[in-house]
């Protein structure tokens, strides 16, 4: 069975926004600091962060002491928001144009559309705030202390 595919770009976006949710409402964090904490390549992460800013997920602060912060509280940002900001709308990629008279194909298409719609609904329900505040989980990787302190 093939697992659900989440691109490396989307995974880094999820990691970065989660790191920012953990320290929210810290004013901002420089790209390099959380690239290092999440073991993500800084140049690639910078492109991802810019996309997230353009889509309204993050805000950027310019200057030598600049960085990135969540544009909204973690409870208002869903996994769907982040995934679609990076990957575009989640769809089944199949069209039903030539199947009007082919009932089995039409039913298959409708089923696939329902599955995609259900997945979108589930991703929309999961907010970043649901991942924040778990400090006593045995074996959990913790955010470095320097990320938790405001700049």
- CATH number (domain holding residue 36): 1.10.10.10
Question: Is 144 inside a domain boundary?
Answer: yes
User: Per-residue pLDDT tens for 1-13?
Assistant: 656 678 999 999 9
Question: Is 52 inside a domain boundary?
Answer: yes
DSSP state letters, the chain: -PPPP--HHHHHHHHHHHHHHHHTT-S-B-HHHHHHHTT--HHHHHHHHHHHHHTTSEEEE-STT-EEEESS-GGG-BHHHHHHHHH---------GGGTT-HHHHHHHHHHHHHHHHHHHHHHH-BGGGGS-----TT-----HHHHS--
Share of the chain above pLDDT 70, in %: 80
Q: CB-based burial of residue 16 (10 Å sphere; 0-12 exposed, 13-18 middle, 19+ buried)? A: buried
pLDDT computed for residue 140 by the predictor: 45
The pLDDT of residue 118 is above 80: yes
Name which residue leads in pLDDT, 143 or 40.
Answer: 40
Question: Is 13 inside a domain boundary?
Answer: yes
Question: Is 61 inside a domain boundary?
Answer: yes
Quote the number of domains for the chain: 1
User: Per-residue pLDDT tens for 9-62?
Assistant: 999 999 999 989 998 888 788 888 877 877 888 899 999 999 999 999 999 998
The pLDDT of residue 146 is above 50: no
User: Per-residue pLDDT tens for 89-106?
Assistant: 887 766 666 656 777 878
* Residues constituting the chain: 151
Question: Is 111 inside a domain boundary?
Answer: no
* Backbone φ and ψ of 59, nearest 5°: -125, 150
* Cα of 62 vs its chain's centroid, Å: 22
Domain of 138?
A: 8-86+128-148
pLDDT computed for residue 23 by the predictor: 87
Question: Is 100 inside a domain boundary?
Answer: no
Question: Is 143 inside a domain boundary?
Answer: yes
């Amino acid at each position: 069975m093939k697992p659900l595919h989440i691109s490396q770009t989307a995974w880094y976006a999820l990691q970065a926004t989660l790191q920012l949710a953990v320290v929210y409402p810290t004013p901002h964090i420089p790209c390099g600091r959380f690239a290092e904490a999440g073991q993500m390549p800084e140049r690639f992460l910078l492109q991802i962060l810019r996309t997230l800013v353009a889509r309204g997920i993050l805000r950027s602060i310019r200057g030598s002491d600049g960085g990135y912060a969540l544009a909204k509280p973690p409870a208002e940002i869903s996994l769907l928001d982040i995934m679609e900001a990076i990957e575009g709308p989640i769809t089944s990629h199949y069209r039903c144009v030539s199947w009007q008279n082919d009932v089995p194909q039409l039913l298959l298409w409708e089923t696939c559309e329902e599955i995609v719609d259900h997945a979108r609904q589930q991703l929309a329900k999961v907010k970043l705030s649901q991942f924040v505040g778990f400090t006593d989980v045995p074996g959990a990787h913790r955010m470095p202390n320097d990320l938790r302190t405001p700049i």
